[in-house]
Structure 1
């Protein structure tokens, strides 16, 4: 992302009119979390912030064969990722299904253009991506299906926690806009970004950018799995997208104490409160039975009740089912403390 006609080498400059400023907005995008988390897994690195998540998810992803699938081909550890994988969200909080529908509906010409660009950077594309190039409609349906599988294994059990961090970031930055204006927001967004004289400047940008080629406005996308740098998507007529690491990501996987649950237990009962506190990390019925000493039948019965009440979700992971707390359960436990 970048326009270098007026800036120094490696500095992109994007001018803003009053109309562009009025079109600056945020979106919490599931697909951006998919792409950035796949990249983290593919890198083989052990990010200290995400160590707990990586230790839990890597074996599941490997067992499902996703390390050698469509996502492995489309999302390399570094470099360009085809833009059709990150369609511009039409609202502030699209669902994964809504975003995948936009991916599947990508025009064939855009898919082929992105793959040509991808192949240029990677020194060519393999047989799987050549088939996508030849038949985008069929290939995109398969890509979407694999993304759904990855989502269930790697992100859905943790989505309540991840979404809370992303929404808190957006709330913080919306408050900045209300107090100091859009210019202050953009100037404070990231060390690589600065704002002056109605121009947004990005240091170390790798993509050419101008208002004529980037579309109107700006879409800001917080990510829980981003590294220290920025990611961009330039695909007019969509607005340019700028993805950055969300505030509070460092606390994402911190263990939360289970003390002070008496008030919650008085409402839900001791057994169901115990199961909710144990689901600080998503777990199977067998694992919960081992941790709590409750029989598997008892665990299953109580999880069904918690799920019916909207406090627990279930996610298929191979032959097992992972249970996870919802945002409602997180709020209930926090209030009880």
Structure 2
């Protein structure tokens, strides 16, 4: 597949991180689209958590097949801002026009497509509820880590573009992409030929759950074509991140709270943290409440268990401690 860029296309090319896309791509991983077990640590945590939560996820899972030649377009609308919240994207999903719904599901021989087209308002509402419930269990506890990796990749690519233009931007985007004289070449399983962006530019979305593939949307009716690719460092995403020292943070937060943040390299429950640190669950709970009030920790319920995770601010603090 070759994608031709005009000057206007380059002017409109942009980046975005999409929580809704990560929901869809992560469901593919849970259904077996994970060659090499890159996300094994994540799936080992999420599968039992989803089972314990006893959620009705059929409205979401039935629309995502593995293997598949594609994903229904209405399910992953291109983000209109660089960092939309899941709530914003779900608002767009709920408002999918019936004509768009029928167009993007015509070729999808999937369960629920007929029900979606028969009663869009009701079924889109059920779908949005399933996405939100899945998000809280499967992705929200890990979102700070996922988003940090994607945002780091965007920063890296912005620097590459500033240093050497489009050629440098696309040079190491993916082994499946190459740039030559205003044309982006893609190695793709199902797409071939030459396409024109028609002045719409290209939306570039780093996505942790697409590895080792890239996903591209180039339909003429799309407001903007999109290319979703694995960010740099995705292979280390789920590796434990021990903090070598908490001395600096301890001077500000106190030793126990600094150690708690270090332990939260991955989401954990009060009981888990108490066991690791040799403290009572009550004491850990008090410290977590203080950290949560300060915006350093977030809480996410999975069934009967509440998992705590570092926020974006806390990730930055801990990363600064490592330097």
User: TM over 0.5: same fold?
Assistant: yes
Judge conservation of contact 2:79–2:89 (CA < 8 Å) in 1: yes
Alignment correspondent of 2:224: 239
1:315 CA displacement: 0.7
Partner of 2:255: 270
Task: Tell me which of 145, 160, 169 is aligned to 1:161.
Answer: 145
Q: Could you tell me which residue of structure 2 aligns to residue 74 of structure 1?
A: 63
Contact 1:108–1:137 under 8 Å retained in 2? no
Q: Secondary structure at the match of 2:101?
A: helix
| 8 Å CA contact retained: 2:161, 2:169 | yes
Q: Does 1:62 align with 2:51?
A: yes
Aligned counterpart, 1:257? 242
Check whether the contact 1:215–1:240 (CA below 8 A) recurs between aligned residues: no
Q: Does the 8 Å contact 2:9/2:198 carry over to 1?
A: no
Q: 1:320 to 1:306 in 2, by over 3 A?
A: same
Query: How far has the Cα of 1:215 moved from its partner?
Result: 6.9
1:146 equivalenced with 2:130 (yes/no) = yes
Contact 1:214 1:239 in 2 (8 A): no
Contact kept, 8 Å, 1:29 with 1:89, in 2: the verdict is yes
Summarize the alignment of residues 93-242 of structure 1 with structure 2, pairs less than 5 Å apart.
Answer: 93-119=83-109, 125-126=110-111, 128-207=112-191, 211=195, 216-235=200-219, 236-242=221-227
The yes-or-no answer on 1:309 pairing with 2:294 is: yes
Q: Within the alignment, does 1:89 sit opposite 2:79 as a pair?
A: yes
Out of 22, 35, 38, the position equivalent to 2:11 is 22
**CA 1:48–1:248 in 2, change beyond 3 Å: closer, same or farther?**
same
**Structure 2: any 5+ residue segments left out of the alignment?**
none
Q: Partner residue of 1:3?
A: none
Residue 288 of structure 1: aligned partner? 273
- Count matched residues: 320
- Confirm whether residue 51 of structure 1 aligns to residue 44 of structure 2: no
Normalised TM-score (structure 2): 0.92
Q: 2: CA distance between counterparts of 1:115 and 1:294? A: 53
Unaligned runs of 5+ in 1: 1-11, 120-124
Distance 1:86 1:14 in 2: 21
Q: CA RMSD in A?
A: 2.1
